[in-house]
Amino acid sequence: MLHVTVVICTHNRADLIEQSVDAALGEVRAGRDEVVVVDNASTDATPAVLAELLRRTGGAFRVVREAQLGLSTARNRGLAEAQGEIVAYLDDDAVPRPGWLAALEKPYRDPAVVAVGGRIFLRFVSEPPAWLSRELHSALSGFPARVWARLTARVAAAASPHRE
């Protein structure tokens, strides 16, 4: 089996980073894989949250600081720090489904495979942004276009002060 490094790049996500790190730690195989969090010049409580997570998990992951702001710079830093043969990037606001990492690693057993991706299910706690059209939403997520109307209707109904 190949070794995997899960890289989570974060910037000012003190309120979200814990759920992503905990989920990633639940996916890695002890003694084989690793989680690396790249703190990309955070100015909020993110460094303190990560320090507490490190303490609570007994140092089950690594944190590296990248002073130059930018997602590409942070991802490159994560790649440079990675010790695994496979690098899997996880967004700092994402929570993978159980089995995500094993499913992501499996195709790499074929030496011809050089990149793998997966479905993304977009979830909104409020109205989706105006620029996210029905067609673009379908292209960016695992939902077919016909599901878009149901999702936006649910969000609108939940936000409406006049429920019946």
Torsion angle of C-alpha atoms 97, 71, 128, 147, degrees rounded to 10 = -40
Which residue carries 């409406």 as its tokens?
Answer: 160
Cα 102 from Cα 106, distance rounded (Å): 6
Domain limits, the chain:
4-109, 120-164
pTM for this prediction:
0.79
Q: Which residue, among 81, 107, 78, 110, has the nearest Cα to 91 in the 3D structure?
A: 78
Give residue 132's pLDDT band: very low, low, confident or very high (50, 70, 90). Answer: confident
Dihedrals phi, psi of 153, to nearest 5 degrees:
-65, -40
- Under DSSP, the state recorded for 133 is -
Chain segment 37-47, per-residue pLDDT in tens = 999 999 999 99
CATH number of 4-109: 3.90.550.10
Q: What is the pLDDT of residues 58-85, one digit of tens each?
A: 999 999 999 999 999 999 999 999 999 9
